[in-house]
Amino acid sequence: MKAKHQRLILAVVALAALIGAGLLAASALKDEAAYFYVPNDVRTKGVEPGRAIRLGGMVVKGSLKRASDGVTIHFDVTDGKAKVPASFKGITPDLFREGSGVVAEGAFDAAGTFQATNLLAKHDERYMPRELQGMQYDEETHKMKADQ
């Protein structure tokens, strides 16, 4: 076999190995990817129960309730257009409170409640999800409205 053919075969084998490694990495990361949704996306597009996602929005004032076990909380997340019920079992971050922004990791159960496994509220007081910039929570109407 000529040297030219050997180099060609080596290049094809190297290319096939690179493609195989890329596909293997993509396959492994697919299961770990968590997509970001706001409540209106959940309402319009739908999310199948059990699929790992990130849900972002504002914690609705008056919706935060603690269960009798002392570690489970129930709350609603809104983006001003829709509201999603959520639940979390564990210790909440210090900045997690009603009227503040939150990104929750978890999945929806069959009843349509978001079961959070992690709350990401480790931001400063001025944090606002990109989708909600220019909005504020109206205490009287309990809805999101544009800043004046």
pLDDT of residue 115 exceeding 90: yes
Same domain, 71 and 138: yes
Range of the domain at 10: 1-31
Which has the higher per-residue pLDDT, 76 or 46?
Answer: 76
Binding residues for heme: 123, 127
Report pLDDT digits (tens) over 37-53.
889 988 888 888 888 88
Pairwise CA distance, residues 134 & 148, whole Å: 9
Binding residues: 123, 127
Task: Work out the mean pLDDT of the chain and round it to a whole number.
Answer: 83
Q: What percent of the chain has pLDDT over 90?
A: 31
Average pLDDT score over residue span 45-73: 89
Same domain, 111 and 139: yes
pLDDT of residue 106 exceeding 80: yes
Alpha-carbon distances of 131 from 25, 40, 80, 135, 137, rounded to whole Å: 31, 11, 10, 9, 14
Same domain, 26 and 40: no
Which has the higher per-residue pLDDT, 114 or 70?
Answer: 114
- How many domains does the structure of the chain reveal? 2
pTM: 0.62
Pairwise CA distance, residues 86 & 12, whole Å: 51
Pairwise CA distance, residues 121 & 132, whole Å: 15
Same domain, 15 and 54: no
Same domain, 18 and 63: no
Average pLDDT score over residue span 111-115: 92
Predicted pLDDT of residue 131: 65
Predicted pLDDT of residue 31: 58
Predicted pLDDT of residue 29: 74
Predicted pLDDT of residue 43: 87
138: CATH: 2.40.50.140
Predicted pLDDT of residue 13: 94
pLDDT of residue 21 exceeding 90: yes
Structural tokens at position 23: 């596909």
Same domain, 27 and 87: no
Same domain, 41 and 16: no
Same domain, 16 and 41: no
